[in-house]
Amino acid sequence: MRSDSQIRTPDDGAGGSQDHSANEITVAGVALIADLAGALYWPEERLLIVSDLHLEKGSSFAARGMLLPPYDTAATLEGLAGILLRLDVRIVVSLGDNFHDRGGPARLADADCAQLSALQCGRDWIWIAGNHDPDIDPGLAGRIGGDFAQALALGPLVFRHEPALGPSPGEIAGHLHPVARISRRGHALTRRCFVSDGARLVMPAFGAYTGGLDVRHAAFAKVFGARGLTAHVIGQRRLYAIAAVQCEGMAAE
């Protein structure tokens, strides 16, 4: 897992107008639209999926003496606000590792709490449990709003944090933070991506301070088996579907 800690600006990857026809990904027969900020939209249900926000990662590191600029939560929420302005969303599903640790909700600044509350207004908001935040202190649940679940099944799709090992048709998961390394005009680029074999999908990390794991890492083979994987690589204006075997591998970090 990479541990780079550069903040992405809220419109990184969004690139202004998006070609939605080029951004469609079908999973288990369901047509989904990838937003170039790193979210996935199910138009039929007006449902938005994000993963691995890792809110309050900066403050978590600071508590351990690793000083990072304390702006990651605000930047992540601002990026999410931009998507909610672009799309008609009635349900938000956040696929775990919503906070970098269990104490994250208590460290939220008042302004960030207010922003989160504004984003939830008029919408159902579901926090899926992750390995960084497997449970939320009941005394803090009201501070961040929404509902809490270990997983969520809706129609043919199942939403959870960690991908199941072995066949899991319709699964939308996070946890692995996929990135793809590609060559363009003689230069190597590393970009976030959605990874899918058509039956299931792994989301890119959305948080401002999240790193990434190369799609050719063995962790993806454990999830998808021998099925051919496609990396739907996030560009400035559209997705680029590239067979994972055609991406340039990176040494594990």
Distance CA 54, CA 28 (A): 28
Task: Please answer whether residues 48 and 80 qualify as being in contact, where contact means their C-beta atoms are separated by less than 8 angstroms.
Answer: no
Query: Is the predicted pLDDT of residue 148 greater than 90, yes or no?
Result: yes
Distance CA 75, CA 58 (A): 11
| Buried b or exposed e, range 89-121, using 16+ CB within 10 angstroms | bebbbbbbbbbbbeebbebbeeebbebbeebee
- How do residues 102-137 score in pLDDT, each as one tens digit? 888 888 999 999 999 999 999 999 999 988 777 777
pLDDT of 62 = 62
Q: Which domains does the chain have, with CATH numbers?
A: 20-246 (3.60.21)
Which ranges in 102-154 belong to alpha helices (H)?
104-107, 110-120, 138-144
pLDDT of 143 = 87
DSSP 161: S
Task: Report residue 224 as tokens.
Answer: 């998808």
207 compared with 251, residue with greater pLDDT: 207
Helix, strand, or coil (residue 47): strand
Nearest CA-CA partner of 144 in 135, 153, 131: 135
Other CB atoms closer than 10 Å to residue 4's CB: what's the count? 10
Distance CA 168, CA 13 (A): 29
Distance CA 37, CA 10 (A): 8
pLDDT of 189 = 85
Distance CA 250, CA 242 (A): 16
Mean confidence (pLDDT) of the chain: 86
Helix, strand, or coil (residue 25): strand
pTM confidence score: 0.87
Task: Please answer whether residues 98 and 127 qualify as being in contact, where contact means their C-beta atoms are separated by less than 8 angstroms.
Answer: yes
